[in-house]
Amino acid sequence: MPIGDFNPYPKEKQLFQRRTKPTQRQMGEISPSVDRELKDRSGYVCEVRKRCSGARATQRAHTKGRRTIPRKTAVDDLFHACVGCHIWMDETPEGIRFKRQVREIGGTTVYLQQNLNALGG
């Protein structure tokens, strides 16, 4: 048998088979329904409030990196944040520790409920 005849995975199957598992990029993407729920929850006001006092939220910040998230992005994986707070969360050691702490207590919803109760709201 010549070397070129061995073909355990024929080209026909390679071309016509669809991927069943979502890619990491697809899992990190924010669906329109999750985006809508996030904006309804925040009211377009920054939820992080570590570098501002409630500025207009224009960005959606993941608490776990898009490339390492193990499932499709849910609203509990996101904060609606202003630019300053989003940069703080992603680029400073304090912000990275803050994101880890939020994940450990159960996600953004739990964190926001605890902060609302602490503020007396």
Segment 27-42 shows an average pLDDT of 95
Domain total in the chain: 1
Residue 76 has what pLDDT?
94
DSSP state of 19: P
Residue 81 lies in a domain: yes
Residue 16 lies in a domain: no
Phi/psi of residue 95, each to 5°? Answer: -65, -40
Enclosing H/E stretch for 28: helix 24-28
Residue 21 lies in a domain: no
Residue 96 lies in a domain: yes
Q: Quick check: pTM over 0.75?
A: yes
Q: How far apart are CA 17 and CA 33, in angstroms?
A: 29
Percentage of residues in the chain having pLDDT higher than 70: 92
Which band of pLDDT confidence, cut at 50, 70 and 90, is reported for residue 13?
Answer: confident
| Residue type (1 letter), 9 | Y
Residue 57 lies in a domain: yes
Residue 50 lies in a domain: yes
Residue 118 has what pLDDT?
65
Mean pLDDT of the chain: 88
Collapsing DSSP to helix, strand or coil, 56 comes out as: strand
Residue 7 lies in a domain: no
Residue 19 lies in a domain: no
Residue 14 has what pLDDT?
72
Owning domain of residue 63: 31-116
